[in-house]
Amino acid sequence: GDRKSGRRSRALPAIQLCQDYAAVGAKGAAGSSGLKNSNVVRMGRSVWDLISQLWTRGGAGESEALAAMGAWLQQTIQDEIQEEIEESKRGGASFERKIYSNLTGHMLHRAMKCARDAQYWRLSVLVTRAGLCHEDVAAQLQSWDDSTKISISGDLRKIFHLLSGDVSVHCQDVSWMRALGIHLWYANAAWPSDQGAAAASGSLVPREEKAIRAVVGKQWEKTLKSVVQSYENHSNDNGRHPAVAPYPPHAAAAVDGKGRTVRVGQRGQDLRFSILKLYCEREAFEGG
C-alpha cells in the first residue's frame, strides 16, 4: 500500500508538468494566429493534452478513462469536422451529409439540430440515443433492405448504418483519431470479437452476415483497452474496408515529398496512438 502510494505521489509532479506544457501551448497558440495554425504546435499541444487527460481524469476508473479519451478525441478532431462541414456547404451538401459529419465527431447536439431542421423527427430522437439503439436501427435497415417500395438516399443510409453499430465502412477517409472515436461512440458488440473483421469485409448492409446481426443487441462493456483493440483490429484487417492506420501526420500520405510511394512499414506510428497503447498496458509497469 505504502509503496503504491509513494509511486502515485512521485508521479504527480510529472502529471502537473504535462498539464503545464499543454497550458503553455494553448497560451502561445492563442497569442498568434500563425502559431495557432502551426502543425508542430498543434501536435505538441495534442500530445500533452492526451497525457494529462489520461493520467489525471483517466486514473479514477474505466468509465473516467473512456470519458477522458472521448473528450480528447472530440477536441482533437473538431477542426477536421468543421472543415468538412464548411466544404460541404460550399458544395451544396444535403442535411443528411451534415448530420453524418457531426455524428462522426460525436457532436450530437449539432446533429440533432440538423435533423430537426430537416424535419427528420424520428432520426433526431435516435441521435439522442446514439450508441444505445443498435438493435432497433439494425432492424430498420433490414426492413428497408427487404422492401422493394422504399428508396432512401445514400447519406441517410450511412447515418442509420453508423447508428446500427456496424462501423465497417465509416473509418476509411478520415483521420485515425476520428476512426478511433467512431469505434468508441458507435461500434457494436461484434467489433471486439473475431466477427468484427468479418463485418469489415462485408457490404454496406451485409445481408449474409447473420452472425453480425446476432451480436448487435449484445452489450459491450467498453474499456479504453477494448476500444483501442477494436479499432486496431479494424485497421489491420485485410478485407475491403480496413480502417485508416494510425500513421503520424507527416507520413499519412502514401507518397513522399518527391512523389515516391512510401512503404507502410516506413511510415511509423503516431506518437499519440503509442501513448494510448502505453496507457492500456499501464498495469504491467505500475505493478498491477
Mean pLDDT of 125-138: 84
Per the CB < 8 A criterion, the answer to whether 133 and 126 are in contact is yes
Total residues belonging to the chain: 288
Helix (H, G, I), strand (E, B) or coil at 255: strand
pLDDT of 273 reads: 95
pLDDT of 21 reads: 55
pLDDT of 128 reads: 87
Per the CB < 8 A criterion, the answer to whether 103 and 135 are in contact is no
- Give the CA distances from residue 205 to residues 162, 165, 243, in Å, rounded to whole numbers and listed in that order: 10, 11, 17
pLDDT of 16 reads: 61
Angle 52-245-242 from CA coordinates, rounded to 5°: 135
Distance of CA 20 to the CA centre of its chain: 26
pLDDT of 2 reads: 44
Give pLDDT tens digits for 213-228.
434 445 567 889 999 9
Task: Tell me the percentage of the chain whose pLDDT exceeds 90.
Answer: 22
pTM above 0.85, yes or no: no
Q: Rg of the chain's alpha carbons, rounded to an integer?
A: 20
Q: What's the CA gap between 122 and 133, in Å, rounded?
A: 13
pLDDT of 14 reads: 54
Which phi-psi region, left, alpha or beta, contains residue 197 (left: φ > 0; alpha: ψ -120 to 50)?
A: alpha
pLDDT of 250 reads: 72
Task: Tell me the percentage of the chain whose pLDDT exceeds 70.
Answer: 65
pLDDT of 1 reads: 45
pLDDT of 4 reads: 43
pLDDT of 253 reads: 55
- Looking up cell 496507457, which residue turns up? 279
Phi, psi angles (nearest 5°) of residue 243: -70, 155
Q: What's the CA gap between 184 and 72, in Å, rounded?
A: 12
Q: 186-208 in b/e burial notation, b at 16+ Cβ within 10 A?
A: bbbbbbbbebbbbbbebeebbee
Which residues pair with residue 255 across a beta bridge? 261
pLDDT of 113 reads: 92
pLDDT of 157 reads: 87
Phi, psi angles (nearest 5°) of residue 222: -70, 140
Give pLDDT tens digits for 16-57.
655 565 565 555 555 555 545 567 778 888 888 898 888 876
Q: Which one of 47-56, 169-178, 207-216, 240-249 scores highest in mean pLDDT? A: 169-178
Give pLDDT tens digits for 180-191.
999 999 988 776
Chain mean pLDDT for the chain: 75
Helix (H, G, I), strand (E, B) or coil at 175: coil
Q: 81: closest CA among 48, 117, 108, 46?
A: 108
Q: 242: closest CA among 229, 250, 231?
A: 231
pLDDT of 15 reads: 56
Mean pLDDT of 148-166: 83
Grid cell locating 248: 503520424
Q: 230: closest CA among 176, 193, 267?
A: 193
Q: Which residue has the higher pLDDT, 163 or 195?
A: 163
Grid cell locating 266: 516506413
Grid cell locating 62: 474505466
Region of poorest pLDDT, from 20-24, 155-159, 224-228, 268-272: 20-24
pLDDT of 10 reads: 44
Q: 35-59 in b/e burial notation, b at 16+ Cβ within 10 A?
A: eeeeeebbbbbbbbbbbbbbbbbbe
Residue 132 pLDDT > 60, yes or no? yes
